[in-house]
Structure formats: structure tokens, C-alpha cells
Amino acid sequence: MAKKKKRGKVGYMISAVAEKFHLHPQTLRLYEREGLVTPSRSEGNTRLYTEEDLERLEVIVALTRDLGVNLAGVEVILNMRDKMEELQGEMEEFARFVNQELERMRDRSMQERFRTALVRVGPARPAGGPRARPEPEKAKVS
């Protein structure tokens, strides 16, 4: 496979990608026109496909060849996959937030338990000294 560098990234030229997937280069151009894949361009305007583009092409080829999905269906499926990945990221972020808040609440709860569970101890009393004052007796009503 022919590789070209663009700003430190490796990209595969259209001929190499077409060969890898057993596609005609015009098919790859069609996929680009349809917005299914967006390869970057070199300074000479040559299409350069990244590893992510190749992964996306694998899905496209599997959908069209193996499952018989047309390009409109492929577009819908890819858009749904992208949206699902976005939502997955949001859910993971939300779960991290909830876990952090629960941890904070546990910390506060433990601090409150420790604060209320401790008993203040005054200075030591001399031996034989007075203990606690007896409570006054309540008057009995007959």
C-alpha cells in the first residue's frame, strides 16, 4: 500500500485503498460524493485515507456486499452509528459525574457520622471526685 504523510499522519492513497477493498477507485469517489467517507487531501489535492476512514469503509463494504444495503440505507445506518457513539460518550460522561457526586455524598455522610459519633471528653477528674450530678427528684403527686 502506498502511504503518504500529511502533517505527521499516515494516509493511504485511493489506489491502495481500492485494491485493499477490491473496489474501483470510482466507487470510492462515489462514496465521497455521497458523504459516506471524507478522506483528507494532500497539498497536491490527492485523497488520503486514514485508519478511521478504512474502518468506516469496512462497514460500508460489509453493508453493501454482505447485506445488500443500498447507499441511502448505508447513510442512514452510518448516521445512526455516529449518533449512538455520541450518545454513548454522553452516557459515560454522565455516569462519571453521578459516581463523583455519589462519592462526594459518601464522603460528606462519613464526615457527618464521624462528627456526631464522637463524644467529647472533658479533663480527667481526680480520683474519688464528684461524678455526675444527681437529677433532682420530681415531686410526687398523690
CATH number of the domain enclosing 25: 1.10.1660.10
What domain range is 46 assigned to? 3-69
What is the rounded distance in angstroms from the CA atom of residue 123 to the CA atom of residue 135?
22
Number of domains composing the chain: 1
Q: Which cell goes with 125?
A: 477528674
Q: State residue 98's pLDDT score.
A: 92
Assess contact for 41 and 48: CB atoms under 8 A: yes
The share of the chain scoring above pLDDT 90, in percent, equals: 63
Is position 60 within any domain? yes
Question: Across all residues in the chain, what is the average pLDDT?
Answer: 85
Is position 90 within any domain? no
What is the rounded distance in angstroms from the CA atom of residue 37 to the CA atom of residue 27?
11
Q: What secondary structure letter does DSSP report for 132?
A: S
Which single residue is written with the C-alpha cell 455519589? 102
pLDDT tens digits, one per residue of 20-40: 999 999 999 999 999 999 999
What is the pTM for the complete model shown?
A: 0.63
